[in-house]
Chain A
Amino acid sequence: MKTPLPRLACIAALATLGAQAATVVINNGGGRLILQIGSTAATINQVDFSVPGANVGDGTPIVSSGVTPADPTCPTNSVLIDAQARSQSSNPRTATLSVDSSAPLTTGTFTIPFTQIAWSSTAPGGGPNACLDAPVTIPSGVFSGAPGQSLISFVTSQRACVCAQFSYLNQSIVSAGTYTGRVTYTLAMP
């Protein structure tokens, strides 16, 4: 009399299994966020501007002269902004990417507010992060000069990804010098 073998559901293929029958139970995990700003080099990326003397404060936008380190995913002088949020399909959640630009750029005691910095978003051209087909884009905009500026909100599990090219709006005559500053991007999922 033949006894049929039990039916086994193999949910995950494990390389270590030989010619074995296996039952794999995948428990529900928690959520996950991944945020990348710029290249994958182990440093904070920097966007550089150099204003011609004849244009100081005349309102001519100055496109960034360079981004260091360069990101092969994006065109020259643009920064990769990649936000990924995942959760269980049975528990969709909303993730929000925001930016804090409240601290102005400074040189000594002189300042330039981040409201003078804008960005133009374009789709990444592929590359190792396979960001080309990200379903969510991050709109072009201008830093608000305040904390918690919302850039995009999206429901999990999705990926928002753009190449951002920055411009200095150059709307005021400012004291000569090299101004530096930092913005902080936050990806959050309550």
Chain B
Amino acid sequence: MKTKSTILKAALAVSFGATLAGALPAQAESTSVNGAGALSTTAHLDFSIVIPRFLSFRVGTTGATIDQITFTVPATSIGNSTPIAGTGGDAGGTAANVSVMGNGGQITITEANNGTGGLKHATLADTISYSEITTTSSDAANLGAPTLSNAGGNTSTPVLSSGNVTNRTATWTYAYANTTIPSAGTYGTSADGGRVTYTASMP
């Protein structure tokens, strides 16, 4: 006696990997590809970096310290037009370290002072003009110093480093030109028109 059995044949082509646990749905940056031969698939990732504007400016010692440049003219040299070096700069002698950094476009440095006609004598009405104070930059091409003046308002424009970025350093060295014969005494200091203020501005 024959026993017939029903045999169900099914030819099933299965792609390996189709039964992955948690198979990924089709999403924009989730891609899949299958087939014979070489395969390749891509996905992307975006980035965003916010760079804010900033401006940093330094003349002399960092922090809240205000340096005082002092010239002492020998009696035998008064008015002989030999420039007089001095002391008090944070870079030695009368040299001040200067740095200016910013990323928002062309920076302008403007000089001003708290005098009304130059550096005033401590007790007399005499003054020494700010034109007697010269400033020499170690990098005049890229970070020149504005010429000091009684009225203030002279400017210098540091050369941009790249794009809208300025990143310049130099030393500004001060000298007393000594072209006049003033009355004996002490002129300037912060109390008598001797304070210079440099302002860096960026658009």
Please, how many angstroms separate the alpha-carbon atoms of A89 and B120 in the complex? 94
Name the CB-closest residue of A to B9. A23
Residues of A with Cβ closer than 8 Å to B?
1-3, 5-6, 8, 12, 14, 17, 20-27, 29-38, 40-54, 56-57, 79, 84, 86-88, 105, 107, 109-110, 112, 114, 117, 128-130, 157, 166, 168, 173-190
Residues of B with Cβ closer than 8 Å to A?
1-3, 5-18, 20-22, 24-25, 27-54, 101, 103-104, 161-165, 167
Contacts of B52 in A (CB 8 A): 51-53, 56, 176
Contacts of A44 in B (CB 8 A): 28-29, 44-46
Please, how many angstroms separate the alpha-carbon atoms of A86 and B39 in the complex? 11
Name the CB-closest residue of B to A187. B41
Contacts of A50 in B (CB 8 A): 49-50
A173–B101 CB distance below 8 A: yes
Q: Nearest 10 CB-CB pairs, A to B?
A: A29-B15, A30-B36, A32-B34, A175-B164, A32-B17, A36-B30, A86-B17, A188-B40, A46-B46, A37-B43
A187–B40 CB distance below 8 A: yes
A129–B24 CB distance below 8 A: yes
Summed over the interface, the residue pairs from A and B with CB atoms below 8 Å come to a total of: 240
Please, how many angstroms separate the alpha-carbon atoms of A121 and B162 in the complex? 34
Please, how many angstroms separate the alpha-carbon atoms of A51 and B103 in the complex? 13
Please, how many angstroms separate the alpha-carbon atoms of A77 and B12 in the complex? 44
A-B contact pairs, 10 of them (CB 8 A): A1-B1, A34-B20, A35-B32, A35-B41, A35-B42, A36-B30, A36-B31, A43-B29, A46-B46, A176-B51
Please, how many angstroms separate the alpha-carbon atoms of A150 and B148 in the complex? 59
B50–A42 CB distance below 8 A: no
Known: A32-B18, A175-B103. 14 other contacts (CB 8 A): A20-B8, A30-B36, A32-B17, A34-B31, A36-B27, A42-B28, A48-B48, A53-B53, A54-B54, A79-B45, A166-B47, A175-B163, A179-B51, A181-B47
